[in-house]
A and B are shown apart, each in its own frame.
Chain A
């Protein structure tokens, strides 16, 4: 029942993510037809069995994403989805501590920057050439982010109130930005660092990056899925709901929060490294950027915090929108205006985000339907008491 909603929502996300750039870039209608067909097939096939539905929708989403760069190979089309996938990974990873556990970190860009500087520094110091090998170094960016997250989490999570946790994480971000500017010997300060580029030519240049981002996104979502359905994840949700009660049923709350924080840093670090490699040059203000945190949080809020699909959906909508706005308006900051407006709309109209709102609506419709059917078969007038009880 639930997964049917999930399926629908995930497909909407997919279609939005893929069609937005297409429509904007004026690609042929062929693509649209292909994806609409895929959509129809998936709905038909998935309608029968619940568990299969979830897997099938995931499979279709991945298959479509794999096919995408072959169908739409223009640099703009792949760039936009590359960034969207990067943010799917970042937001899903952030969701482990922010959404599942309820500890909102506004400093995850610190891990993004750590990953970015890791790949730049390792490539520079070891004189590594651009090429496929640097993708392995990007993984190292995740490891470094995870290692740095250990003392950071140790300090930030000593605070019992979530508000103080938020403040400390913001402080982390600016701390790292300052270090980026001032540790000139390592980071080259505000002049930034370059990352050696591969000699892939033409439209193919984006393809390896695209697939690296896709792999990261898929693995991160799989990680989040696994955590959400594990005993560990059950403990995290309990902490979010009520930390004292969680401790009361035997959840080791500190260990859980700490593990969630460290785990959630790793994919963000890898994403930062991929970003650095892709964009070829990094500065403290572009990788330790508060905008990254705003994008993460807004993605999660928009889609639905604490749900698996929420951050995916949010990132899939926001990133292409942001990229397109920048593309059309130049760097005039219209994306910031969009973010502001979206934030207000989400908070006013659906404070729990798209996924929970849609799921709840559909559940209500279904319950009402069931009640009506039951009343019909019993030959009773529909009554409000039954409807109230089913709420």
Chain B
């Protein structure tokens, strides 16, 4: 398997000092990697650096061999990285279909948009079933699925999922994470940041524990999940 994303020695922050301090991370193509860690560890900052919202002060980010750390968010989007943000990002007053179409807004080719819309509708039945309903009328979990669907309109190689479980009721989480696993099986690479560390790690191939802006522990998700120190520190005590 080849590496699709490399983050090397990245230092980045928001003016008041660095949040990331020597961050290193490599993602294998077609895998799910879950970043966990306490608040302020820099999990979301990693996402911001990869999606181009934040430029690193030092270090390099490479995507499929190409430097992307100084690119604009739009260029990064077009190169094949899509982020599904933490908070609700749909347009509530627009229909589900319009929302999904907006995911492919940067595509000029209309036929391609229609084709992708059909594909995404195949993969996410809700996109077809509720096509003409206002996105704001869907439940939180349904909205999250539509956000996934919207993200796939650009047929990304790498999908960044920032806390997909946030604000969702527990019984819908299985569906959300199940969908994530299906996206991965379809050949996409997924980088996941999750507060709900247990469920995040259970659905992932690899687990990365961050603390104070760098990687503390990196290994197969199952191993991370069963690591005692981690269990005590970040997973709220006993894991098993």
List A residues at the B interface (Cβ < 8 Å): 1-2, 231, 234-235, 237-238, 240-242, 245-246, 248-251, 391
When C-beta atoms are compared, the residue in chain A nearest to B77 turns out to be: A250
- A315 CA to B105 CA in the complex, in Å? 33
A2 touches B91 (CB 8 A): no
* B39 interfacial contact with A, CB 8 Å: no
> Size of chain B's interface in residues, with CB distance under 8 A?
17
- A110 CA to B82 CA in the complex, in Å? 44
Complex partner residue of A245 from B91, B106, B132, CB under 8 angstroms: B91
* B137 interfacial contact with A, CB 8 Å: yes
A237 touches B105 (CB 8 A): no
Q: Return chain B residues, CB-CB under 8 Å to A249.
A: 102-103, 105-106, 150
The interface stretch among B93-101, B168-176, B178-186 is B93-101
User: Quick one: which of B90-146 are within 8 Å of A by CB?
Assistant: 91-94, 98, 101-103, 105-106, 110, 132, 137
* B89 interfacial contact with A, CB 8 Å: yes
When C-beta atoms are compared, the residue in chain B nearest to A367 turns out to be: B133
| Chain B 61-85: CB-based contact to A (< 8 A → 1; otherwise 0) | 0000000000000100100000000
CB distance from A282 to the nearest CB of B (A): 40
A235 touches B105 (CB 8 A): yes
- A204 CA to B150 CA in the complex, in Å? 56
A250 touches B98 (CB 8 A): no
CB distance from A243 to the nearest CB of B (A): 11
Complex partner residue of B89 from A231, A235, A245, A251, CB under 8 angstroms: A245
A251 touches B105 (CB 8 A): yes
B93 touches A241 (CB 8 A): yes
B103 touches A241 (CB 8 A): no
Q: Return chain A residues, CB-CB under 8 Å to B89.
A: 245, 248
Q: 7 interchain pairs (CB within 8 A)? A: A234-B105, A237-B91, A238-B91, A245-B89, A249-B102, A250-B105, A250-B106
- A238 CA to B89 CA in the complex, in Å? 12
- A241 CA to B93 CA in the complex, in Å? 6
CB distance from A251 to the nearest CB of B (A): 6
A234 touches B93 (CB 8 A): no
Q: A249-B103, A249-B106, A249-B150 are in contact. List 13 more A-B contacts (CB 8 A).
A: A234-B101, A234-B102, A234-B105, A238-B94, A238-B105, A240-B93, A245-B89, A245-B91, A246-B102, A248-B89, A249-B102, A250-B106, A391-B137
- A240 CA to B98 CA in the complex, in Å? 13
Q: Return chain B residues, CB-CB under 8 Å to A231.
A: 105, 110
Q: Return chain A residues, CB-CB under 8 Å to B103.
A: 249
B91 touches A242 (CB 8 A): yes
Q: Return chain B residues, CB-CB under 8 Å to A242.
A: 91
When C-beta atoms are compared, the residue in chain A nearest to B136 turns out to be: A241
A2 touches B105 (CB 8 A): no
Q: Return chain A residues, CB-CB under 8 Å to B93.
A: 237, 240-241
B92 touches A241 (CB 8 A): yes
Complex partner residue of A241 from B94, B110, B137, CB under 8 angstroms: B94
- A242 CA to B136 CA in the complex, in Å? 13
Complex partner residue of B91 from A1, A241, A250, A391, CB under 8 angstroms: A241
CB distance from A365 to the nearest CB of B (A): 15
When C-beta atoms are compared, the residue in chain B nearest to A389 turns out to be: B139
Q: Return chain A residues, CB-CB under 8 Å to B110.
A: 231
B74 touches A250 (CB 8 A): yes
Q: Return chain A residues, CB-CB under 8 Å to B101.
A: 234
- A146 CA to B181 CA in the complex, in Å? 52
Q: Return chain B residues, CB-CB under 8 Å to A2.
A: 132
- A234 CA to B110 CA in the complex, in Å? 13
- A241 CA to B135 CA in the complex, in Å? 11
When C-beta atoms are compared, the residue in chain A nearest to B90 turns out to be: A245
Q: Return chain B residues, CB-CB under 8 Å to A391.
A: 137
CB distance from A220 to the nearest CB of B (A): 23
B74 touches A237 (CB 8 A): no
Q: Return chain B residues, CB-CB under 8 Å to A240.
A: 93
- A2 CA to B105 CA in the complex, in Å? 25
Q: Return chain A residues, CB-CB under 8 Å to B105.
A: 231, 234-235, 238, 249-251
CB distance from A4 to the nearest CB of B (A): 13
CB distance from B145 to the nearest CB of A (A): 15
Q: Return chain A residues, CB-CB under 8 Å to B137.
A: 391
When C-beta atoms are compared, the residue in chain A nearest to B150 turns out to be: A249
Q: Return chain A residues, CB-CB under 8 Å to B92.
A: 241
When C-beta atoms are compared, the residue in chain B nearest to A240 turns out to be: B93
When C-beta atoms are compared, the residue in chain A nearest to B154 turns out to be: A250
- A357 CA to B89 CA in the complex, in Å? 26
CB distance from B99 to the nearest CB of A (A): 9
CB distance from A50 to the nearest CB of B (A): 11
- A242 CA to B98 CA in the complex, in Å? 14
